[in-house]
Amino acid sequence: MEYILTVMVLIGINVVLATSFNLILGYGGLMSVAHPIFYAIGAYCSGLLAIHLQIPVPLSILIGAGIAMVLSFGVSLPSLRVSGDYLVIASIGFQLGILHVINNLDFTGAAGGLTNIPVLNEGPSRSLVFVLLIAVVAACAVLLVAWIVEGDYGRAITAMRNDEEAFSALGRNAMNIKIVLFAIGSGMAGLAGALYAHYFAYVTPEQFGIFTSAALLTMVVVGGAATTWGPLVGAVLLTTLPQAITFLGLPVSIMAPLQGVIYTTLVIFFLFARPQGLTGGSRGGGGLEAWSASAAFRARRDAE
Amino acid sequence: MSAIVRVENLHKSFGGIVVADDVNLSFETGEIVGLIGPNGAGKTSLFNLISGVIPPDAGSIFLEDHRVDQLPMHHRARIGLARTWQNTRMFHSMSVIDNLLIATRRYPGESLARILFRRRALDAFRQEATEKAVALLERVGLADKMHEMAIELSYGQQKRIGLARTLMSDAACLLLDEPMAGVEGQAYETIIRVIREEAQAGRAVCVVEHNISFIRDISDRTVFMFNGCVLASGSVEELTRDSQLTDLYFGGEHPQ
């Protein structure tokens, strides 16, 4: 039972992460893969504040999310100058740089990780209460993103993603939108990280590396980029799938690389065969359109 | 007449390729200027310089006496520069009407705070902007396509939507890049009528076009560009009478 509840907590956290990543990548078309670093910033900041300054856990969680939001400028400001593939590289640099710092500071626990983080709630039904909390948070995340991308603001986001230059030439300020999308998306990732830290009481730097970027990317692509329910479907599938594989009883030497192989295979398969993901309609793919094989085909056809 | 856009001593080069070589030009209130010249003459580059897609190396650009050459593109658009693009550049995952709504001068959907706290003002805006967009689509003869995806319409229809889109912002200056490409028949007359009406309303219009008979039909003054230079200015008749210019136009890329 405890195991199932723990998996459900992970699903909830991944729903928040994938949904917020989708806001930036899918809807915004902003090719940043640094999303896990804001997850890390939320987790570490909240954990450290609670450990060293004895700040009450609920407050430290909010502060952690706030810090992640503010530090999102680290990616949103470069995105004003570079876009597309260049932003991918800039964001990887940002992610690995901060991770390197965390890995080498004593007070963050360095490579060994941050331990003895105070938990948010205790008691016999602690996991159940936490599952309910994370479910509410995940629902709010999905609804918040759905609200942001509908109506007048959503129209502006879509237009910016479609053609930033034409968008600017119509008098629209793309800079503001990028900063807001990164701030909200990264703040949500920070919140997810802080919640994670105060449930598992332990975080390590390796949880927030490129592998996590790939996992989140897979969730968004498989579920459906720039759709409301896609990241949710993707997060549920790709959290339970690796758990299910562990029951096959394969040796660790096969298990460990297997996850990475599954993720990359899924991303490539979906970008080629179904860029709109499992839940997307006939036209979809959002910000990932540019990467998808069908878009390449369309561009070739239109050029002829 | 007073100048709406004034370009002074404008220079721009990319490596060895000069796209603007000491360009001096002005577009006056109510005037339709035709901009012609062979491919690579710098016509679209001039539009890119004026609208802010690329920064100039030297020189200045004024919009109604405000110096704009250092302003970002969106800022120039807000104070009165509107342009279309050679390859239409529709927002491809959006409907025709949404393409137009984005272009309103003060688009409230840019700020989440305003969406949260100024709901009533937003509703009023939306109604007003939608009415304006529908009226413009009627003027270019595409009101029935309002809810279709812009990208699914023909090239000529997209050109007309691009024109309507620039008119959403009541800009003082319209820069139209090949508005007639792919446009035929009835639509041809429609575009000529709309451009004339906008000029009569006091806007300055500059049109880049390869279709010389269209330039003859519509422009008050024609400017001939070659290798980034403004070589001549006058009526189409005056320009075509100059055999040197016609040689450059038709054989400019392989001078004998």
Cα Dmax for chain A: 67
Q: Which of B92, B95, B119, B126 to mutate to test the interface with A (most CBs of A within 10 A)?
A: B92
Map out the domains of chain A as residue ranges: 2-302
- Does domain A2-302 fall into CATH 1.10.3470? yes
For every residue of B208-251, DSSP letters joined together read E-S-HHHHHHH-SEEEEEETTEEEEEE-HHHHHH-HHHHHHHHH
**Contact call for residues B249 and B37 (beta carbons, < 8 A):** yes
Contacts of B165 in chain A (CB under 8 A): 170
Contact B74/A165, CB-based, under 8 Å? no
Q: How confident is the model at residue B256 (pLDDT cuts 50, 70, 90)?
A: very low
Is B237 a residue whose pLDDT tops 90? no
Q: How confident is the model at residue A253 (pLDDT cuts 50, 70, 90)?
A: confident
- What ipTM was assigned to the predicted interfaces of this complex? 0.90
Domains and CATH numbers, chain B: 1-80+211-256 (3.40.50.300)
Please measure the distance between the N-terminal and C-terminal CA atoms of chain A and give it in whole angstroms. Answer: 59
- pTM here is 0.89
User: Which residue of chain B is at minimal alpha-carbon distance from A175?
Assistant: B74
Contact A169/B105, CB-based, under 8 Å? no
Most confident of A202-216, A278-292, B116-130: A202-216
Digit-coded pLDDT (tens) for B209-236: 988 889 999 999 999 999 999 998 988 8
Q: How confident is the model at residue A297 (pLDDT cuts 50, 70, 90)?
A: low
pLDDT of residue A304: 46
State the helix-helix crossing angle for A57-71 and A35-52, rounded to 10 degrees: 140
Q: What is the number of other CB atoms lying within 10 angstroms of the CB of residue B8? A: 16
Over residues B153-176, mean pLDDT: 93
What's at A88, amino acid-wise? V
Q: How confident is the model at residue A282 (pLDDT cuts 50, 70, 90)?
A: low
Burial of B35 (0-12, 13-18, 19+ CB in 10 A): buried
Q: What is the C-alpha separation between A260 and A33, in angstroms, rounded? A: 16
Q: Which residues of A touch B (CB under 8 A)?
A: 148, 151-156, 158-159, 162-163, 165-174, 176-177, 180, 283
Nearest Cβ partner for A155 among B72, B101, B149: B101
With CA atoms as reference, report the closest residue to B25 among B175, B245, B244.
B175
